[in-house]
A and B are shown apart, each in its own frame.
Chain A
Amino acid sequence: MRAFANATPKNLTDAVEQVKQAKQGQKSVAIAGGGSDLLGMVKDHLVSPDVIVHLAAIKGNDTVTELAGVVKIGGNITLDALSRHPLIREKYTALADAAGVVGTPQIRNAGTLAGNVCQRPWCWYFRNGFPCFKAGGNQCFSAAGENQLHAIFGGGPSFIVHPSDTAPALVALDAKFHITGPAGERTVAAADFFTLPKVNAAKENSLAEGEILAWVEIPTAKPGTRSMYHKELDREAWTHAIVSTAVVLELDGATCRSARIVMGGVAPIPWRVPEAEKLLVGQRVTPELAVKIGETALIGATPLAKNRYKVPLAKEIVRRTVAAVAAKA
């Protein structure tokens, strides 16, 4: 492993400043949340930073706060703390569910919300040193290679799937991301934060050089809102989703007022399915409707040679999760 220096900022402004200074000194910089994945990437020579700026050193950006109309969540909150937080569990269940199924207990103890949202892809080509788009190269090896775990929506020219569990939940909960960077602060809707490879195949989101995902806000849940996140794994722990889905339903008795459905493991970004959502508005969630929601969610899927199985699997996961959320009401 190549040696690197550790930087321990006092606050977010200081973190931005330390990143800027390192860059001015011609040093390569990586920003770490929990650092559990970044250290592995350094060991595998996928990144070779001169300096790692540790956001975990910042005190206080790891809490859940209820404000007027919104819940504010510090980017540094650990996945474990988030998954156990009473308010998140009760009102924003999909996010607690998602945080609670990331990796392993060790990873959830170290890993942070912001880190999970910004995690690099786990495509086996990228992780094994192939010079792909994500590694600065100009091709996607999965397209005509081993693509069992790859995208069935939004692929091309890269076919990675977004690795985060919390990202689909945040998009489904209509979160906003607060970003701080050398040019100041900005706020972006979670759904607009993630970017498709056709926009920029080397990246998964719109963070500019030196920018940090500082904190997240979620609009206060309307009465009758219920949500869940379901992750389908190919072993019971320590993998990324084959397919997942976050479902948020606003229910008035048995009638659905509004719905947001976002799939994970199927696209290079959290994949929202508005056509499926529309079918729910003003309707009772019957078993037949749930089937139709699943079918509709997968319209337009373009599987690759080895991941056709994801289509029926995702249909079923969406169907089950929609039905399960409705049944909670």
Chain B
Amino acid sequence: MNPLKTAGHPTQRIDALKRVTGTATYTSDKHFPGMLYARVLRSPHPHARVKSVDVSKAQAMPGVKAIITRDNCDVVWSSGDTRNKRYLFNNPVRYAGDAVACVAAIDRHTAEEATRLIAVEYETLPFVLDAEEALKPEAPEIQPGGNLSADDKGKREAEVYKRGSLDRGFAEADIVLEDRFQSAHHNNAQLEPRVSIALWEGDKLTVHAATQGIANCRTDIARDLKMPVENVRVVCEYMGGGFGNKNQCQDSDLMAAVLAKKTGTPVKVEFSRKEDFISVHGRWPVTQYYKVGAKKDGTLTALQVRGYSGMGPYRKGRGDQGGPEVYQCANVEQSVTTVYTNMAVSANYRAPAYPHSVFGLESVMDDIATRLKMDPLEFRLKNMTRKYRDSVEYSSIGLEQCLREGAAKFEWKKRWHEPGLDTGNIRRGAGMGMGGFGSSVGKSEAILKVDSKGQYHLYVGVTDVGTAAKTTMGLIAAEELAVPLEKVTVHWGDTADCPYSVGESGGRTTSFTGVSVVEAAKQLKKQIAEKGMPKGSDMLTASVVTDPDTKGLARYSFLADFCELEVDMSTGHIKILKFLAVHDSGRVINPLTAQSQVQGGVIQGLSMALHEELLYDKRRGIPINAGYYGARIMTHLDVPLVETMFIETDDPFGPFGAKTLGEPPIVGVVAAVANAFFNATGRRIKSLPFSRDKVLDALGKKEVLA
């Protein structure tokens, strides 16, 4: 790879000082003259028909300006459900936390107290929390047509991927292993709860949103409010994280817009921390049944997975389950059934389909390696993908280097031992997990201008969800222009002057918008060469739309995670001693923020493995531990040093060969922890999280060594 000048070196975020000195203005910091505050009333029942909503007492409370319920608001929030009509206020309510009313008042306390004066008459309905239970004939129907959610073609059946023949694969196998794994509902738990401010000027609407993508947020709002898109402006200058739960537009954006219209004054809708856990969305819980066959020499012959994804009552997320694509195997069958339940809604959370699914897959693979008395590293090197689904060439692949160079740096051969061989009360073990994450390319836009002083102005539709996207875009422009980063002023976060961007989801910003930025810089350089630099108040402008494809190649980022931990056999306490995350994300544009990105993802994964779960009272269908205290999100004291390593493959697509890095860091973490626990103790835990009761139960049992 050619060395880069400006990009490719550790660079502080362009907004770092503003963020850490408290001068960055987040949506919740904003205030407008006359602005009202709004609070949401939510269903206490997991499933109930709303017989009546009496707002008279709330309406009469001094300071209350407007109340919306299903009786006077039938706005459909279309990105809240891609299969069914999901209103802002639904009847029946389908989970504990479903919105029933929203009150705007002169201050937030008045609005909140007013919600408590609203009298709602419910007729409670039977409910179901578990996906497999929800498929039984006697289960209550959550959406018209049943609890088996339709695929994107409208068919109510499992989504199935097949290649080869399972019969043949199992016939060829010397050993066959079957197992079941389960995950919990994990919350995105970003620092910034949901907040939206809406202002109307005539028929023009401005929404200050906490969004991962201003462009999609804007088109969604226009569609749901039946407005021309030109009349909607979305602004998000600084945002406080989302990890996938602030894609598209939010119900809070629409509630704010409706209330602002009704009252003729700006309205700010805010969700509390608990609402952010219960009423937004988390990662879909999965149940997976594996059946895997292999030959004595370790060659995989058959891989069958039957998975169920609990989506909550609305189909906001895809519900898919990933992982098998990183294994080379002639005979594969994967079916995923997406199911409605009366739990909290499930949708995108960083690498949505992966860490929980990969936990199951990599646990099974580790068990097979154990049975065959193979080092799990050698087993993976033997069976790792070489071509996507054994047939399509990758645009670049550094998976083998991730495994080999990572293992060398981690000192795998020294740290890993035969499972359960350690003795004594404190037992050490090492485990690993590998994975991939699709790194697509696609349509994006950028505008680049230069003024007569030689300052460049880059306009991109990013909001920077914590990935340092603004800095990355600036670096890409500076690199192509061959100028220092300070010569590029980045403009972002406002649809009034920024062009389309795909939004910061799917790890797409660098690969999509970055390509537009490179192209804009090339075109601007050409203009400068032809016309010379602009004079006086003139500017030269390059405005580009790019929409590349991968020419039939599969484009993936790859990773290998290595974990060493120790287990106190009599108290069940698990301590992470060492964690190394190795990533092939192509060229690294900014090593400093790339490292932060990986460390952040690993920390989320560790917390998911060891602590987190939105816990329900099973008899009442109500969550009982929402929030940072209850859901046991890791604290600083729990976080080990996370080492990172990048395998920089030279990818022909993406800016300077950069591939996806936003989502992959969490993919293999849970698996690496689970396998390290197995290596240390000889016991396998098959459901997340590894809470103390499960750990001590497992340690109290006989070793389950194959």
Binding site for B on A (CB under 8 A): 1-3, 45, 104, 124-125, 127-128, 130, 141, 144-146, 148, 232, 234-239, 242, 306-309, 312-313, 316-317
Whether B617 contacts A312 by the Cβ 8 Å rule is no
B91-120 with Cβ < 8 A to chain A: 109, 112-113, 116
Q: List 17 A-B contacts (CB under 8 A).
A: A45-B116, A124-B630, A128-B624, A128-B625, A128-B626, A148-B693, A234-B632, A234-B691, A235-B637, A235-B638, A239-B632, A308-B693, A309-B572, A309-B692, A312-B570, A313-B696, A316-B570
Whether B634 contacts A235 by the Cβ 8 Å rule is yes
Given A1-B112, A237-B637, A309-B696: 12 more A-B contacts, CB < 8 Å: A124-B624, A128-B626, A146-B615, A234-B611, A235-B637, A308-B697, A309-B697, A313-B572, A313-B692, A313-B696, A316-B570, A316-B571
A14 to chain B, nearest CB (A): 29
CA A316 – CA B571 in complex, angstroms?
Answer: 7
Whether B611 contacts A146 by the Cβ 8 Å rule is no
B161 located at the interface, meaning its Cβ lies under 8 Å from any Cβ of chain A in the complex: no
Whether A237 contacts B692 by the Cβ 8 Å rule is no
The bracket for how many chain B residues form the interface is: 20 to 34
Taking CB atoms, residues of chain A closer than 8 Å to B624 are 124-125, 128, 130, 146
Contact of B692 among A3, A124, A242 (CB under 8 A): A242
CA A46 – CA B696 in complex, angstroms?
Answer: 34
- 0 or 1 for each of B607-621: is its CB under 8 Å from A? (1 = yes): 000010001111110
Whether B625 contacts A144 by the Cβ 8 Å rule is no
Taking CB atoms, residues of chain B closer than 8 Å to A309 are 572, 692-693, 696-697, 700
- 0 or 1 for each of B625-639: is its CB under 8 Å from A? (1 = yes): 110011010111110
Beyond A2-B109, A141-B617, A239-B632, whether A306 also contacts B637 by CB under 8 A is no
Whether A313 contacts B635 by the Cβ 8 Å rule is no
Contact of B619 among A45, A104, A144, A237 (CB under 8 A): A144
Taking CB atoms, residues of chain B closer than 8 Å to A316 are 570-571
- 0 or 1 for each of B269-303: is its CB under 8 Å from A? (1 = yes): 00000000000000000000000000000000000
Pick the 5 closest A-B CB pairs, nearest first.
A236-B637, A309-B696, A124-B624, A316-B570, A309-B693
Tell me the nearest residue of chain B to A316, going by C-beta.
Answer: B570
Taking CB atoms, residues of chain B closer than 8 Å to A125 are 617, 624
Beyond A2-B113, A317-B571, whether A124 also contacts B615 by CB under 8 A is yes
Whether B617 contacts A145 by the Cβ 8 Å rule is yes
B254 located at the interface, meaning its Cβ lies under 8 Å from any Cβ of chain A in the complex: no
Taking CB atoms, residues of chain B closer than 8 Å to A144 are 619
Most-contacted residue by chain A among B571, B622, B623, B697 (CB, 10 A):
B571
CA A146 – CA B626 in complex, angstroms?
Answer: 14
B695 to chain A, nearest CB (A): 8
A324 to chain B, nearest CB (A): 14
CA A2 – CA B623 in complex, angstroms?
Answer: 24
Taking CB atoms, residues of chain B closer than 8 Å to A313 are 571-572, 692, 696
Tell me the nearest residue of chain B to A40, going by C-beta.
Answer: B629
A277 to chain B, nearest CB (A): 22
Taking CB atoms, residues of chain B closer than 8 Å to A104 are 635
Tell me the nearest residue of chain B to A122, going by C-beta.
Answer: B629
- 0 or 1 for each of B115-143: is its CB under 8 Å from A? (1 = yes): 01000000000000000000000000000
A241 to chain B, nearest CB (A): 12
CA A309 – CA B571 in complex, angstroms?
Answer: 9
Tell me the nearest residue of chain A to B623, going by C-beta.
Answer: A128
B629 to chain A, nearest CB (A): 7
Whether B693 contacts A306 by the Cβ 8 Å rule is yes
A297 to chain B, nearest CB (A): 15
Tell me the nearest residue of chain A to B273, going by C-beta.
Answer: A43
Taking CB atoms, residues of chain A closer than 8 Å to B636 are 237
CA A144 – CA B617 in complex, angstroms?
Answer: 10
B615 to chain A, nearest CB (A): 6
- Count how many pairs of residues, one from A and one from B, have CB atoms less than 8 Å apart in the complex: 78
CA A145 – CA B623 in complex, angstroms?
Answer: 12
Whether A234 contacts B692 by the Cβ 8 Å rule is yes
Most-contacted residue by chain A among B113, B624, B700 (CB, 10 A):
B624
Taking CB atoms, residues of chain A closer than 8 Å to B616 are 146
B585-626 with Cβ < 8 A to chain A: 611, 615-620, 622-626
CA A232 – CA B571 in complex, angstroms?
Answer: 9
CA A316 – CA B572 in complex, angstroms?
Answer: 11
Whether B693 contacts A307 by the Cβ 8 Å rule is yes
Taking CB atoms, residues of chain A closer than 8 Å to B622 are 128, 130
Contact of A239 among B570, B629, B693 (CB under 8 A): B629
A293 to chain B, nearest CB (A): 15
Tell me the nearest residue of chain B to A306, going by C-beta.
Answer: B693
Taking CB atoms, residues of chain A closer than 8 Å to B615 are 124, 146
CA A307 – CA B697 in complex, angstroms?
Answer: 10
Whether B700 contacts A312 by the Cβ 8 Å rule is yes
Tell me the nearest residue of chain B to A309, going by C-beta.
Answer: B696
Contact of B109 among A3, A236, A317 (CB under 8 A): A3
Tell me the nearest residue of chain A to B611, going by C-beta.
Answer: A235
Whether B697 contacts A237 by the Cβ 8 Å rule is no
CA A168 – CA B622 in complex, angstroms?
Answer: 32
A311 to chain B, nearest CB (A): 9
Whether A1 contacts B630 by the Cβ 8 Å rule is no
CA A288 – CA B572 in complex, angstroms?
Answer: 22
CA A125 – CA B573 in complex, angstroms?
Answer: 26
CA A124 – CA B637 in complex, angstroms?
Answer: 23
Beyond A124-B624, A146-B615, whether A236 also contacts B692 by CB under 8 A is no
Taking CB atoms, residues of chain B closer than 8 Å to A306 are 693
Whether A235 contacts B570 by the Cβ 8 Å rule is no
A87 to chain B, nearest CB (A): 28
A262 to chain B, nearest CB (A): 19
CA A296 – CA B572 in complex, angstroms?
Answer: 21
A269 to chain B, nearest CB (A): 22
Tell me the nearest residue of chain B to A1, going by C-beta.
Answer: B109
Contact of B638 among A2, A128, A236 (CB under 8 A): A236
B582 to chain A, nearest CB (A): 27
Taking CB atoms, residues of chain B closer than 8 Å to A3 are 109
CA A236 – CA B611 in complex, angstroms?
Answer: 11
Tell me the nearest residue of chain A to B630, going by C-beta.
Answer: A124
CA A307 – CA B692 in complex, angstroms?
Answer: 10
CA A1 – CA B617 in complex, angstroms?
Answer: 26
Taking CB atoms, residues of chain B closer than 8 Å to A148 are 691, 693
B636 to chain A, nearest CB (A): 8
A234 to chain B, nearest CB (A): 5
Beyond A1-B112, A317-B571, whether A312 also contacts B696 by CB under 8 A is yes
B96 to chain A, nearest CB (A): 10
Tell me the nearest residue of chain B to A317, going by C-beta.
Answer: B571
B175-206 with Cβ < 8 A to chain A: none
CA A238 – CA B635 in complex, angstroms?
Answer: 8
Most-contacted residue by chain B among A2, A127, A234 (CB, 10 A):
A234
Whether A145 contacts B619 by the Cβ 8 Å rule is yes
CA A127 – CA B629 in complex, angstroms?
Answer: 11
Contact of B617 among A146, A235, A239, A308 (CB under 8 A): A146
Tell me the nearest residue of chain B to A2, going by C-beta.
Answer: B113
CA A306 – CA B693 in complex, angstroms?
Answer: 8
Contact of A235 among B109, B112, B635 (CB under 8 A): B635
Taking CB atoms, residues of chain A closer than 8 Å to B637 are 235-237
Taking CB atoms, residues of chain B closer than 8 Å to A317 are 571
Whether A238 contacts B629 by the Cβ 8 Å rule is yes
A76 to chain B, nearest CB (A): 25
Tell me the nearest residue of chain B to A103, going by C-beta.
Answer: B629
CA A3 – CA B112 in complex, angstroms?
Answer: 11
Tell me the nearest residue of chain B to A128, going by C-beta.
Answer: B624
A317 to chain B, nearest CB (A): 7
A235 to chain B, nearest CB (A): 5
